[in-house]
Amino acid sequence: MLREFKQSILIALWFVFLTFPLMVVRVNTIENVVVWRWENILWVAIGAFALSYCWRYMLARRQRQNKKAEEGIDTRGPLQAALDNVELRNRAMAVLLTLALIFPLVFDTYQTNIMVTALIFVVLGLGLNIGVGLAGLLDLGYVAFFGVGAYTYAILNANFDMGFWIVLPIGGVLGCLFGVVLGFPILRLRGDYLAIVTLGFGMIFKVVMENWETLSQGPSGIANIDRPGLFGIEMTLAQSTVYIYYIMIALVVLTIIVTNRLKNSRVGRAWIALREDEIACVAMGIDMARTKLSAYALGAFWAGMVGVLFAAKTTFINPAGFTFMQSAIILSIVVLGGMGSILGVILGAFILVLLPEYLRAFSEYRMLVFGAAMTLMMIFRPQGLISNLRQIYQYKGSKDKAAHDG
């Protein structure tokens, strides 16, 4: 502690010295006098000291935790511990769901709309989490599948007047198909190569949509897409927003159930094993191609579905809405929340979508804050906000072992 204190003081002094010419000395060229702003020394010193001290404290804390973890001591924070408690978790889920259900009744259309956006990113995060978090397949072009879904609805709606509910599954299936098609060439790739190729796929989607005018109406996009219908009932904008909100809640619940079940199943275990060690995985009898493709396709499925909903919500889409930025945000959601952790991804989506929304004042610094937050995250908490909940297995401690073996 004392050492950290001393070092921080040294750093503060060093910064004072470094910034002296900038912060303290100022030449007033009009009156030809030098202004000495001594008070700035204090601010620089305090600022540098505080930052440095925090930094050191966090690093030291992390080291202590790592050490404890090595010795097998419980290092979970209170939140993590509470989440590991199944009963508590179920109760929290129930409360959250109730809150979610009454949300649009309490808040206005504007807030509900923002919430829908957040929920869309929850589903996207959960979908990407299958590939990135569970199977370890980095995908920087995930937004393409989202775009496939959105354009599927836009095109089918504009040309064939097909309704939202019919296209919703079609969008999912098409997303899935694209996932498989794009998955094939990258089966053998790993790490950086995979990242670059998927990045390319994301770009290709946008370029194709910009240039294939007959299909997608080019950069100007497709407008006047129908909102979701409900037995032909006419709805005002506000009503429609609430309706979409509830559809979205249902979709989120469905995604959570499905991904959770898959995660704790034979298939999910294979995905995780694939992430851990590919060679051991195939040597243990797991079909790599099939497992990878299924992870890809399933992730793309959710993106496709929610893409349809996105098009129905905004009623207007154009290629500029499906850029690398979106992919990066979705990936950040997964990384920030905690790879492989469903709750983490949900939390991550809310943070990354809602914070910028409510902190409009900082919107210009958004990417800057984003980058800084991610960097800090990687240094201090690489496992994400909420790390993966462990599945608990029940087994008979078999004393009647001989009977089984015989």
Kindly list the residues in this chain that would bind other proteins in the complex (CB under 8 A). 70, 72, 258, 261-262, 265-270, 272-273, 275-277, 279-288, 294, 298, 390, 393-398, 401, 404-405
Q: Which helix (H) or strand (E) is 223 found in, with range?
A: none
Which position has the token pair 């979508």?
353
Smallest distance, Å, CB 308 to other proteins? 20
Helices (H), 71-163: 78-84, 86-106, 109-128, 143-160
Instruction: Kindly tell me which of 364 and 400 has the beta carbon lying closer to other proteins.
Output: 400
Tokens for 137? 């397949």
Q: At what angle do helices 86-106 and 237-263 cross, to 10 degrees?
A: 170
Instruction: Kindly tell me which of 183 and 228 has the beta carbon lying closer to other proteins.
Output: 183
- Smallest CA-to-CA distance from 132 within 267, 274, 284, 314 is with 274
Smallest distance, Å, CB 60 to other proteins? 23
Smallest distance, Å, CB 1 to other proteins? 30
d(CA 241, CA 264): 34
> For residues 342 and 256, is the Cβ–Cβ distance under 8 A?
yes
Instruction: Kindly tell me which of 206 and 263 has the beta carbon lying closer to other proteins.
Output: 263
CA dist list (Å): 392 to 92, 368, 395 = 19, 40, 10
d(CA 201, CA 281): 27
d(CA 203, CA 227): 28
- Smallest CA-to-CA distance from 312 within 153, 171, 121, 161 is with 153
Q: For 385, phi and psi rounded to 5 degrees?
A: -60, -50
Instruction: Kindly tell me which of 75 and 109 has the beta carbon lying closer to other proteins.
Output: 75
Smallest distance, Å, CB 322 to other proteins? 27
d(CA 331, CA 133): 10
Smallest distance, Å, CB 400 to other proteins? 10
